[in-house]
Each structure stands twice: as structure tokens, then as C-alpha cells.
Amino acid sequence: MNNDMIDILEDRKDQIHRTGAAPYAMDCQKRSLAGSVSQRACVFCGSRVVLYPITDALHLVHGPVGCAAYTWDIRGALSSGPELHRLSFSTDLREKDVIYGGEKKLYAALTELIAEYHPQAAFIYSTCIVGLIGDDVQAVARKVERETGIPVIPVQSEGFRGTKSTGYKAACDALSRLVGTGPTHHLPDHSINIIGEFNLAGEAWILRRYYERMGVHVAATLTGDGRVNDIRSCHGVKLNVVQCSGSMMHIAKWMKDTYGIPFIRASYFGIEDVSRALYDVAEFFGDDTVVERTRDLVRQEVKAILPQLSLWRSALEGRKAAIYTGGAFKAFSLVRSLRTLGVKTVIVGSQTGNQEDYELLRELCDEGTVLIDDTNPLELQKFIRETGADLLIGGVKERPIAHKLGLGFCDHNHERKLPLAGFEGMVHFGREVYASLQSPVWHLTYRSSGPCKEVS
Amino acid sequence: MTPSYVSTRNPCKLCAPFGATLAFLGLEGCIPLLHGSQGCSTYIRRYMIGHFREPVDVASSNFHEQAAIFGGKSNLAEAIFNVVKQYQPRVIGIATTCLAETIGDDVGMILRELSSKAGNVDLPALVHASTPSYHGCDAEGYHAAIRAMVDQLAGNQPGADHLALFPGMLSSEDLRYLRDLVEDFELPVIMLSDYADRLDGPTWDTFHRIPKGGTPLEQLYRLGGARTCLELTSIYEPARTGGGLLADRFGVRHVRLPMPIGVKLTDRFTRELEAISGRSLPYRHAAERGRLIDSYVDAHKYVFDKRAVLFGHEDLVVSLSAFLAEVGMIPALIASGGGNAGRLRRAVLSAAPELEGHTRILGGVDFAEIEEAAVQVQADLLIGSSNGYRLSRQLGVPLVRVGLPIHDRLGAARVMHVGYRGTQQLFDRIVNALLEARQDGDPTGYTHM
């Protein structure tokens, strides 16, 4: 297969490796190369994804309209109550604000929106130009906080101030302003927080039901189906369970330092990982009843789904998949989940993984797997064609890459409408993979006569 | 209404770099590059992919803190060189963002310096538009990019005596149809910009760095020799459009027309084509026109006096208003996120004077304001982008999806709006949406409507 004409940019060569070859260190967690067409967004995006699912807070984007417009109701983060998070609020800065400053507009917007929508807290996201025109967002926030009596929290998310990971940190810093400000006496003994779980398609509810069956109380989910008051009181738990660790490890570490709450990492995707997560929590409490209930739960759930998964496995055995995710931790689970379905991972990458993540991936994956950090469309296409992958798992931006090349695609990103977490999520995932690979439409695309080869 | 609001709630517009990116995607072999933060490119890509379901590669100069303080020159240069290495584009279309504009980067000067220093590196054509996100909206950015292409790329090279067609922000299928229509008058046409195939293409037999399609550079070099430039806008005045500049610089005859939606506005367009070509409306288009009017007759009572809420970019809603008026519907509320309420009102009443006193026209509004106004007009249906779905649920009336974005249905690129054919599709969809609502809402469950 001729890939000669796609050159990897010199400055990106240390972000691409093959397992089994010479030892290497992934050169990750750095800025995207200008002009490389990274699939990442910016600092603002990192903050926005972390805080977005807090349903009863006002999320005001301070800047020109674009940043708010492109993030209006784009995620599948469900709420069991208020839905304020699904609206888009922007100060919509114009020329004169850029010249004279946006503070007055920010103040007026906050005052009016808080009066109209009665949020429990307000987050102010600073966008690029707010950092440049020098608005004193802190001062405005303090003033409005005094006047309205609700927490008004600036998020330092100017797009250029770093990478998407910087935005995660800024969001966690903002959250730490809320944590510890509410009562905890109402929390039962076996209480945990689920951190880095965004309730996409109701996934937090699935997990909450598992924990209830085990006898463990979920005090707060950060931030899926989030409520300000739950977050204020979430320092009353015994354990933090961190799922999307790339985005929210900061807050778990901060709570450990501040309140002495231990944390464990967990993933709820795939039979192995969800079982492990539930057992880890049960073992933490060291309560025999809880452990026993957990065993029953896992046994029942696995028994219920295995026959269906085996059926799909027999059809899918030997197929090859490429994975490109935001955080790397999810990629581990995907490699394992695909294995459950008989599908081998040949490419795996992430936008924001760290060295430790990539080392774990190297250990987990078969020899010859391509590991890529902060990749771009051309590289993905190159490696898909080189490895002969049949399936790409990613987000909306990756979908057309797969489809143009004539291979299946599964959405495992924030936009998804299908719960993929937990045991029932694994069934959905299996069906997704099966439908993506077994659809007869691929017999009509050019790839049916061999992967598309030439470069034009 | 609460006019004291200063914030924008659920915007009915996108930012200017979005429109510029779309315009650049219609240039053959072009990679758009946004001079700003990485997020600008990625969000705009994501939004476009949601609508078109096609690959949309947009590069970024990816500002960092030093660049924001000392200027983004080296970032822009690095981005250009990396885009060249990866994509080997024929053109790079650079649009600025709020960040680059606020710190005052002079992109023109940076590019001139870069070209003079490039030495033996073969640089593609570079074109740049100034599109600060704090000014105007997506449509404004689109026109700024078209004007920039005329300014920096159009030439007077000899060639066929062609028509320059500047269609504005339409669907891929609209663009394809307009090209066919003009060519059926045996008029050679240069269309700017033409993203029809780039943003609605087949799966690939061969791998493409940059998908096929778009206006070739060679055509731009000949643009100054056009016999006429037809520009489909009633909102943007010549001082801000590509057509206006083409007229000023090359003396090209410039004709501005509203987007041709409905029989009357399409007649204006085809009459112009008749005049330019010296040929009468070709039979198959005359036949389409005939069938369209026949369907108006068949359906007139289904639509008569039905009240619609329209929203979208200004040029689209102006022409949709005139179309609704000619079939006996009432565009009770005409709304746009675009900035100039006065121009919008004048354009609507000029295209459909009979609407005077029967419609409410709101410019520069967001969906919160549209929702507040819409509950008062007793609408039977909504016509606009997917972003109106919330309102459609709230009012319990159907939404006929037009314009951009359509990110909750398949085939956004193939939704037609213009010409006899596009109007036919639109009219059928509107009538059927009304029939469906009536059928579903009726306890009898009629099987014949």
C-alpha cells in the first residue's frame, strides 16, 4: 500500500510509536503543532466539557458569540431535573466592548440572567479576548455574588492559555470554590462521589443503580446530572471514584489534600472494567454485605449479557479497530471491550493522554499497534490504510474520516445518545460495533474491492 | 419581550470566521486556516461536520500566550509551512479571529514578508480575510472572504466571456442546480464560491488529502473579464461584497438580486439570464416552472393564511418571505441573528411589498427573543435551522428545516431552496408538514387528505 506521499511532520514524529519496536517515550501533553489540524479544541473547550453538565448553574460565556454558539446543547449530558445547562448564554462582545471593556456588559448579563433563571451558582467562562482586553472578571463576580447571594465563579478558560488539559484544570479550580461549602450530616456512611462522569445518555443513572444495589450511596456525580448543592456537600464522602481521570484528577487530588478523602481510578466501560470498578469500591468499604451484594450483581449482570455478546463475537472475530479518544483512560477500556467482541485494536490514540497512560497502553496492546498522541485527519487516514482497520471509534469529527475511507464508525464521545457504560452499556456497544461492521452498505463502497490505495 | 437584556441567549447566528471558512472551502485545493486559538478551528470543523457529514479540515495557527502578547506572526508562518507539507494545497485561505484582530496582527504584511522570504519553498496562493468574531455574523464573514478572494486573487487574464455567479451561503445541491441552470442558457459560468462537491461528495476510491471540487484558481484569475456578475444578496451592499469589488476594480457589470426562491424571484433571476445570454428560458426549466405553479394551485387551500415563523441568515429569510407571500401564506414573524434590522425590513418589503402591516420583522435577535415573539403570532409552522427544534416542541408545530445548521436530519447538503426546482421541493415539504400536522392532530385518522 502506497503511503509514501503522506509525510508525518517532523515535529510530530515523537508523538507516534509502534508497540514492540524499540523502547520509546511518548512526547505527549504538549501544545498542538500550528497547522497540524489537531482534533483538539482549546482551553475553553476543556473547561466547558467538565462543567457543562451542572444542570442548575448558569453557564455564561464571556466573549464574542462563537464560543457559546458552537457549544449550545451539543452534548448528551442528561438531567433528572433542571435543564439550565442546555441553554447557551453569551455576553456576545462587540467592537465597542473590545475597545472600552466588557465588564459592564458582564455585570448586566449576570444580573439579568440570575434574576430570570434563578440558578444555584453561576460560572463565567473567559474566552480569548477577555484575557486581552483586561476585564476584571473577578471583581465583577465578587460584586454579583454579594448582590445575588449565589456563588459566582470565574473560569480562567481563555483559549490560548494552554491546551484542553489546562481547561480541565481551570474547571476543577472553579469547582473547588464550591466543594466544602455545604452540610454533610445527611450523607450515609457508605458514601462516594463519582468524578469525571458526565451522565451521557443517562450513564450516571446506570452506575447509581449499581451502587444502590451494592449498598453504596452516591453523594454527587461530578459533574453529570450535577447539582450545585450536591457539589457543595460532596466533601462528606469516604471515597472518590475517578472515571475520566485526565479531566478531573485535579479535583480528586485537591480533595485528598484538603479533606483527606482517598480516591481510586475506575472505568465503567466493558465487562472487565466495570466489574473491577464495582469490586474496588466494595473492597474499599470492607463490608462483607457490600462485597457479597457486589458479587451477586456482577454475576447476574454478566450472565444476562454474555450470550448476546458471544453471538456477536462469533461474527466479529478477527476484525480490526482504530481508537481515537479525548482522554486516554477510556481507550484502555475500549481495547478490552473490543477484545470481548473478538475485535483487535490496531491503532489507539488520544488527545490528552500522559506518558503513564501511553505506557499502560503499550503494555495492554498487541505488538505492532500504532500509538498516537494528538493526531490529525491525515495521520489517522495513513495509519487506517496501513493497518487495514475495519472500524474507527471516536467522536463526530472523526466520523467522516472513517466513512470516506469506507469503514465503520462508532461514536464514543460526548455527543452520544446511547449509554455505553455498565453492563447494559456493553450490550449497546456490542450492537454498535456489530451494526457498524456488518452493514451491507460496505459491499457498495470502493473498499469492498480492497482499501482505497492511491494518493491523489 | 424584555429589551433590557444584553446577553445573547441561544444565538441565531454563528461567528464570522465560520462563514469565511465555508467560503474558502469552495475554492479548489484550498485549506482554510484560522489565525487564532486551536478551538476556533476545531469548533467550526465540528459544527460543519455535524451539518455536512463530510471531512472538513481546517488548520489553526494555535496561538499561545507569548503569541497573544507579542503577535502571532511566527505561529502563522509555522502553520502555513506545516499545512503546505501535509496537504500540498493550491491555496490557503486565512481568516482572522477575535484574538488575532484584538492584538492587531497585520496578516497582509505577515504574508507579504513570508512570500518574499520563502525563497525556494514553493508557497501556494495565500488569501486572507479579516473576520473578527466580535463583528457581524457568519454571513458577514462569508462575504468578507469572497471579497478577499476577489481582492487578492481575481485577475484580468483573457478567457471565455463568462458570467460570474456569487450565490451566497446556499446548500451544495443549490449550488449544483444553479450551475446547471446557468449552463442551460449556454453561459459559461464561474461560481464563487462552489463547495458543492467538496461538502457533498462520494466515498473515496482513491485517498484525497483535499477532497475534490471547488472553484479553480485559474477561473479566479479570469474573473475580471466576466461580462456580468450576478450576486445573490439583498442585504449586503456592494461596498462589502465580492461583486461590488469586481465592478469597481474591473468594471464588470454588477447585478444584485435576492436569492431566487419562489416563482417571482426565480423569474427575476432567469429573466436576467435570458437578457445576458440572449436565449429564452430552456424548455426543461420552463416545464419545472409550470409544474411548480401547478402544485401551488393544487395546494393553495392547504397553505392559504397559514402563519409561519421564519429564522435564519438575512438573505435566506428575505427570499423565503417573498415565496411564502406568493402562495398565500403569512410569514408572521421574520427573524434573523444578523445585525441590521433596518436593512432586513427594507429588503423584505422590497421583495414582497404586500407583507407591509402583516408581519413582524426582527433583526439581530437570539432564539430567546424569537421564542418570546413566536408565542404571540399563532404560528402553524416554523421554517429555519435545526436550532428551532426547541421552539417547535414548545409550540407543538412542525419545523421545516432549511439553511444551516441542519444537524438533526440527514442530507443537509441536499436540501434545496432556490430556483423552480428548489422551490418545488421546499413547497412540497411545507405543504406535507402542514398536512401531516393536520392528519396527526385529527381524531378521525383520515387516510386521504
Judge whether A43 is closer than 8 Å to chain B, CB to CB: yes
Q: What torsion, rounded to 10 degrees, do the Cα atoms A216, A220, A226, A229 define?
A: 130
Domain locations along chain B: 16-153, 163-277, 283-441
Average pLDDT over residues B87-105: 96
Per CATH, B163-277 and B283-441 having the same topology is answered yes
pLDDT above 70 (res B5) = no
Q: Which three cell numbers stand for residue A70?
A: 458552537
The beta-carbon neighbor of B79 closest among A35, A42, A447 is A35
Judge whether B17 is closer than 8 Å to chain A, CB to CB: yes
Q: Which residue has the higher pLDDT, A246 or A358?
A: A358
pLDDT digits (tens, 9 = 90+) for B189-234: 999 999 999 999 999 987 889 999 999 999 999 999 999 999 999 9
Q: How many residues does chain A have?
A: 456
The mean pLDDT value of chain B amounts to: 95
pLDDT of residue A446: 78
Q: Note whether B209 contacts A455, CB cutoff 8 Å.
A: yes
Least confident of A132-141, B7-16, B156-165: B156-165
User: How far does the CA of residue B375 sit from the closest CA of chain A (Å)?
Assistant: 18
CA-nearest of B371, B375, B369, B376 to B3 is B369
User: How far does the CA of residue A444 sit from the closest CA of chain B (Å)?
Assistant: 10
- Provide, as residue numbers in chain B, all residues whose Cβ is less than 8 Å from the Cβ of A67: 39, 43
pLDDT digits (tens, 9 = 90+) for B135-179: 999 999 999 999 999 999 999 987 768 999 999 999 999 999 999
- Provide, as residue numbers in chain B, all residues whose Cβ is less than 8 Å from the Cβ of A445: 203
Reduce the DSSP state of residue A252 to 3 states and report it.
helix
The beta-carbon neighbor of A397 closest among B40, B45, B86 is B45
Cα distances from A32 to residues A38, A164, A352, B42, in angstroms, run 6, 10, 10, 12
The beta-carbon neighbor of A109 closest among B6, B61, B78 is B6
Count how many Cα atoms sit within 13 Å of the Cα of residue A58 in the half-sphere of its side chain. Answer: 31
Q: Which CATH number fits domain B163-277: 3.40.50.1980, 3.40.605.10, 3.40.50.2000, 2.60.40.1180?
A: 3.40.50.1980
Rg of chain B taking only CA atoms, in angstroms: 22
Counting residues of chain A whose pLDDT is more than 70, the rounded percentage is 97
Between CA B61 and CA B67 the distance in angstroms is 10
Between CA B421 and CA A446 the distance in angstroms is 31
Tell if the pTM clears 0.90, that is, is over it: yes
Between CA B292 and CA B289 the distance in angstroms is 5
Judge whether B13 is closer than 8 Å to chain A, CB to CB: yes
CA-nearest of B128, B139, B138 to B101 is B128
Between CA B308 and CA B259 the distance in angstroms is 19
pLDDT of residue A286: 93
Count Cβ atoms below 10 Å from residue B220 Cβ, excluding itself.
25
Residue-wise DSSP of B80-98: HHHHHHHH--SEEEEEE-H
**Sheet containing B59-60, strands listed edge to edge, beginning at the edge strand earlier in sequence:** B59-60, B30-35, B91-96, B125-129
Counting residues of chain B whose pLDDT is more than 70, the rounded percentage is 98
Tell me: ipTM over 0.90. Answer: yes
The beta-carbon neighbor of A40 closest among B38, B78, B204 is B38
The beta-carbon neighbor of A161 closest among B10, B65, B204 is B65
Homologous superfamily of the A10-30+310-449 domain (CATH): Nitrogenase molybdenum iron protein domain (3.40.50.1980)
Q: Note whether B11 contacts A94, CB cutoff 8 Å.
A: no
- Burial code (b: 16+ CB inside 10 Å, e: under 16) for A294-303 equals beebbeebee
Cα distances from A116 to residues A46, A138, B7, B24, in angstroms, run 28, 22, 12, 41
Class level of CATH domain A43-176: alpha beta
CATH architecture of the region A191-295: 3-Layer(aba) Sandwich (3.40)
The beta-carbon neighbor of A128 closest among B37, B87, B387 is B37
Q: How many residues does chain B have?
A: 449
Identify the residue among B1, B2, B7, B80 best suited for mutation to test binding to A, counting A beta carbons within 10 A and taking the highest.
B7
Residue recorded with cell 479566479: B220
User: Which residue in chain B has the smallest CA separation from A453?
Assistant: B206
Strands (E), B372-425: 381-384, 399-401
The beta-carbon neighbor of A68 closest among B11, B40, B387 is B11
Judge whether B38 is closer than 8 Å to chain A, CB to CB: yes
Judge whether B68 is closer than 8 Å to chain A, CB to CB: yes
Q: Note whether B206 contacts A67, CB cutoff 8 Å.
A: no
Q: Assess contact for A190 and A290: CB atoms under 8 A.
A: yes
Average pLDDT over residues B84-113: 95
Residue B309's contacts (CB-CB under 8 Å, 6 or more residues apart) are: B331, B332, B333, B335, B370, B374, B377, B379, B381, B382, B383, B384, B388, B391
Residue A424's contacts (CB-CB under 8 Å, 6 or more residues apart) are: A206, A301, A305
> What is the dotted CATH code of the domain comprising B283-441?
3.40.50.1980
Q: Assess contact for B224 and B246: CB atoms under 8 A.
A: yes
Strands (E), B239-359: 253-257, 307-311, 330-336
pLDDT digits (tens, 9 = 90+) for A172-220: 999 999 999 999 999 999 999 999 999 999 999 999 999 999 999 999 9
Q: What torsion, rounded to 10 degrees, do the Cα atoms A160, A162, A163, A168 define?
A: -110
User: How far does the CA of residue B69 sit from the closest CA of chain A (Å)?
Assistant: 8
Average pLDDT over residues A76-90: 96
Residue-wise DSSP of A323-389: EEESSSHHHHHHHHHHHHTTPEEEEEEESS--HHHHHHHHHHSPTT-EEEES--HHHHHHHHHHHT-
User: Which residue in chain B has the smallest CA separation from A442?
Assistant: B203
Q: Assess contact for B175 and B167: CB atoms under 8 A.
A: yes
Q: Note whether B137 contacts A65, CB cutoff 8 Å.
A: yes
Rg of chain A taking only CA atoms, in angstroms: 23
Count Cβ atoms below 10 Å from residue B378 Cβ, excluding itself.
10
Judge whether B135 is closer than 8 Å to chain A, CB to CB: yes
Residue A10's contacts (CB-CB under 8 Å, 6 or more residues apart) are: none
Q: Which three cell numbers stand for residue B232?
A: 445573490
pLDDT band at B120, cuts 50/70/90?
Answer: low
Q: Note whether B50 contacts A32, CB cutoff 8 Å.
A: no
pLDDT band at A454, cuts 50/70/90?
Answer: very low
Q: Assess contact for A42 and A159: CB atoms under 8 A.
A: yes
The mean pLDDT value of chain A amounts to: 93
CA-nearest of B78, B57, B111, B91 to A11 is B78
Judge whether B277 is closer than 8 Å to chain A, CB to CB: no
Average pLDDT over residues A436-452: 80
pLDDT of residue A451: 52
pLDDT of residue B42: 96
Q: Which residue has the higher pLDDT, B188 or A451?
A: B188
User: Which residue in chain A has the smallest CA separation from B103?
Assistant: A132
- Provide, as residue numbers in chain B, all residues whose Cβ is less than 8 Å from the Cβ of A455: 206-207, 209
Judge whether B238 is closer than 8 Å to chain A, CB to CB: no
pLDDT digits (tens, 9 = 90+) for A291-337: 999 999 999 999 999 999 999 999 999 999 999 998 888 999 999 99
Start-end of CATH 3.40.50.1980 domains in chain A: 10-30+310-449, 43-176, 191-295
Q: Assess contact for B17 and B95: CB atoms under 8 A.
A: yes
pLDDT of residue B4: 61
Q: Note whether B59 contacts A400, CB cutoff 8 Å.
A: no
Homologous superfamily of the B16-153 domain (CATH): Nitrogenase molybdenum iron protein domain (3.40.50.1980)
- Residue A122's identity, in one-letter code, is A
Count how many Cα atoms sit within 13 Å of the Cα of residue B244 in the half-sphere of its side chain. Answer: 13
Q: Note whether B49 contacts A65, CB cutoff 8 Å.
A: no
Between CA A228 and CA A57 the distance in angstroms is 7
pLDDT of residue B3: 52
Judge whether B327 is closer than 8 Å to chain A, CB to CB: no
Judge whether B67 is closer than 8 Å to chain A, CB to CB: yes
Q: Assess contact for B223 and B242: CB atoms under 8 A.
A: no
Q: Which three cell numbers stand for residue A100?
A: 472600552
User: Which residue in chain A has the smallest CA separation from B94?
Assistant: A35
Q: What 8-state DSSP symbol labels residue A218?
A: E
Residues 399-428 of A with CB under 8 A from B: 399-401, 403-406
Q: Note whether B205 contacts A37, CB cutoff 8 Å.
A: no
H/E segment holding residue B247: helix B242-250
A to B CB pairs, distance under 8 Å: 251
Q: Which three cell numbers stand for residue B91?
A: 491555496
Residues 102-121 of B with CB under 8 A from A: 102-103
pLDDT of residue B359: 97
pLDDT of residue B122: 83
Judge whether B394 is closer than 8 Å to chain A, CB to CB: no
pLDDT of residue B341: 78
Strands (E), A145-257: 152-155, 191-197, 217-223, 239-242
Q: Assess contact for A31 and A413: CB atoms under 8 A.
A: no
pLDDT of residue A205: 98
pLDDT of residue A246: 82
Judge whether B137 is closer than 8 Å to chain A, CB to CB: yes
Q: Note whether B7 contacts A36, CB cutoff 8 Å.
A: no
Between CA B403 and CA B311 the distance in angstroms is 9
Between CA B206 and CA A70 the distance in angstroms is 32
Q: Which three cell numbers stand for residue B403?
A: 439553511
Q: Which residue has the higher pLDDT, B1 or B125?
A: B125
pLDDT above 60 (res B270) = yes
Judge whether B385 is closer than 8 Å to chain A, CB to CB: no
